[in-house]
Amino acid sequence: MESSNPNADDSFIKRDGQMKPLRKVKHNEVMEVGARVWVPVSIAETRVSKRFDCIPSGTLYPNADEIEYLQRLVKYKDYAILVLNKPPKLPVKGSMPVHNSMDALAAAALSYDYDEGPKLVHRLDRESSGLLLMGRTKESINHLHWLFNDLNTAKSSCKAWNDACDAKFQRFWALVIGTPKENEGLICAPLSRILLDDGKTERVILAQNVGLEPSQEAMTEYRVLGPTINGCSWIELRPLTSRKHQLRVHCAEALGTPIVGDYKYGWFVHRKWKQMPRVDIEPMTGEPYKLRRPEGLDVQKGSVLSKVPLLHLHCRELVLPNIAKFLPVLNKKTETLPPAFSAKPDLLRFVASMPKHMKISWNLMSSYLV
């Protein structure tokens, strides 16, 4: 609020051709309808930090810095889709108390030359990071929803589109506590949802197959990327179905190796979490493994050495059909691609870099990864 000091240069306002002094509004004063309030620029125009891993402020009207930050997250854009590298802690879908969700911010900052902003076609957990796909047109959104629906068994008359759909996949990297018994395999473990705290919270569990609650089929391919180092292992996850918290539950309950930083499904292991995990033996030399700690490296940013690590789950790779190429065929229901589109690739492949806390953990523990 402006100062009430009459000697200050900025404490007067010109009104009706006269300079009238401003005054402070008392905390218990009721404002009148039509009253005007002046605030300093430092309050009216907030700025967001330009660090890569910071989160935009909670507003549906991003300022210039926030728009620039969000546009830096965009890895690919054509007339049909947007692909972003979502940072951790940023929710993808908003609710009444959540304003800085990815869908709301994208609608306000990533419309580019379109009248409306892009729409979500699949989701990532708030704490996870990585590749997030959004549709830009009504037609592309409908086809992408179909593509990420587990019931998309119908085939098109276009063989190239069908082949491209069959080749679509997501690949995640995760750091888990412990190591799976087998180096690779397929997890087929149906999931069920239960309500806790009088319905206030929801939890996903492995289905008990007793018929007491509905369940959904859930399948995940996994592969161990290297040996256990300091009690943790890097693994690769490829979900074949799209269930809520599927990867986190499959890691924690099916494999018995919860993801580092997953306090919802791995709380029983994180209760014993120590800032400095135990030292294991190097598989090649038999010597105690020494964590590589580059001089000056700050490990207190949610990495594996932090007291409270962040979730180590990242959607690293995404392969999907080139929607922009096939839309003319899908909309007209013909088998022939227009000449201008035939030279474009059938598939698009994207790879996203890990967030800072996972990069630190990777650098500390990646000596013997394959």
Whether residue 22 is contained in a domain is answered as no
Q: How many CB atoms lie within 10 A of CB 202?
A: 12
Domain count, the chain: 2
Token pair 């957990």 in the structure block, residue: 125
Bridge partner list, 188 = 219
Clarify whether residues 69 and 201 are in a common domain: no
Whether residue 342 is contained in a domain is answered as no
Cα-based distances in Å from 317 to 213, 226, 349: 34, 19, 7
| Contact criterion met (CB below 8 Å) for 266 and 258 | yes
Clarify whether residues 124 and 197 are in a common domain: no
Token pair in block for residue 66: 């926030």
Please give the Cα distance from 219 to 159 (Å, whole number).
Answer: 26
Cα-based distances in Å from 134 to 15, 98, 122, 327, 342: 49, 19, 8, 15, 24
Whether residue 65 is contained in a domain is answered as yes
Domain end among 114, 149, 184: 149
Clarify whether residues 244 and 195 are in a common domain: yes
Query: HSE on the CB side for 262, CA within 13 Å?
Result: 25
Clarify whether residues 195 and 62 are in a common domain: no
Whether residue 74 is contained in a domain is answered as yes
| Active-site annotation holder among 125, 197, 198, 298 | 125
The model's pLDDT over 178-201, given as tens digits with 9 standing for 90+, comes to 999 999 999 999 998 887 776 677
Sort strands 129-135 and 313-321 into parallel, antiparallel or unpaired. Answer: parallel
| Contact criterion met (CB below 8 Å) for 320 and 147 | yes
Q: Which of 231-235, 249-253, 284-288 has the lowest mean pLDDT?
A: 284-288
Strand, helix or coil for residue 335 = coil
Whether residue 71 is contained in a domain is answered as yes
CATH code of the domain containing 119 = 3.30.2350.10
At 41 the pLDDT is 42
Q: Is 280 exposed, middle or buried (0-12, 13-18, 19+ CB in 10 A)?
A: middle
Range of the domain at 222: 172-274+285-315+357-369
Clarify whether residues 202 and 300 are in a common domain: yes
DSSP output for 287-299: SBP-----TT---
Running DSSP on this structure, what letter comes out for residue 252?
I
| Contact criterion met (CB below 8 Å) for 171 and 239 | no
At residue 317's C-alpha, the angle toward residues 313 and 319, to 5°, is 140
Clarify whether residues 178 and 268 are in a common domain: yes
Clarify whether residues 129 and 178 are in a common domain: no
Whether residue 95 is contained in a domain is answered as yes
| Contact criterion met (CB below 8 Å) for 11 and 38 | no
Clarify whether residues 101 and 181 are in a common domain: no
At 367 the pLDDT is 54
Please give the Cα distance from 92 to 103 (Å, whole number).
Answer: 6
Token pair 């379109």 in the structure block, residue: 114
Sort strands 184-188 and 232-239 into parallel, antiparallel or unpaired. Answer: unpaired
Clarify whether residues 224 and 362 are in a common domain: yes
Whether residue 70 is contained in a domain is answered as yes
Helix residue ranges per DSSP H, the chain:
41-44, 64-72, 102-109, 138-147, 159-166, 246-249, 267-270, 323-332, 339-342, 356-365
Strand, helix or coil for residue 191 = strand
Clarify whether residues 77 and 112 are in a common domain: yes
The model's pLDDT over 111-141, given as tens digits with 9 standing for 90+, comes to 888 888 899 888 899 899 999 999 999 999 9
State yes or no: is 125 an active-site residue. Answer: yes
| Contact criterion met (CB below 8 Å) for 76 and 350 | yes
The model's pLDDT over 153-162, given as tens digits with 9 standing for 90+, comes to 667 778 888 8
pTM of the predicted structure, to 2 decimals: 0.75
Clarify whether residues 121 and 199 are in a common domain: no
Token pair in block for residue 317: 């790779």
The model's pLDDT over 24-82, given as tens digits with 9 standing for 90+, comes to 777 677 777 877 776 544 433 333 333 334 444 444 566 778 788 889 999 999 999 99
Q: What value does the mean pLDDT of the chain take?
A: 77
Clarify whether residues 197 and 297 are in a common domain: yes
Whether residue 246 is contained in a domain is answered as yes
The model's pLDDT over 299-346, given as tens digits with 9 standing for 90+, comes to 557 888 777 889 999 999 999 999 998 888 887 755 666 676 677 889
Domain end among 149, 184, 213: 149
Please give the Cα distance from 72 to 51 (Å, whole number).
Answer: 11
Please give the Cα distance from 164 to 147 (Å, whole number).
Answer: 10
Confidence of residue 231 (pLDDT cuts 50, 70, 90): confident
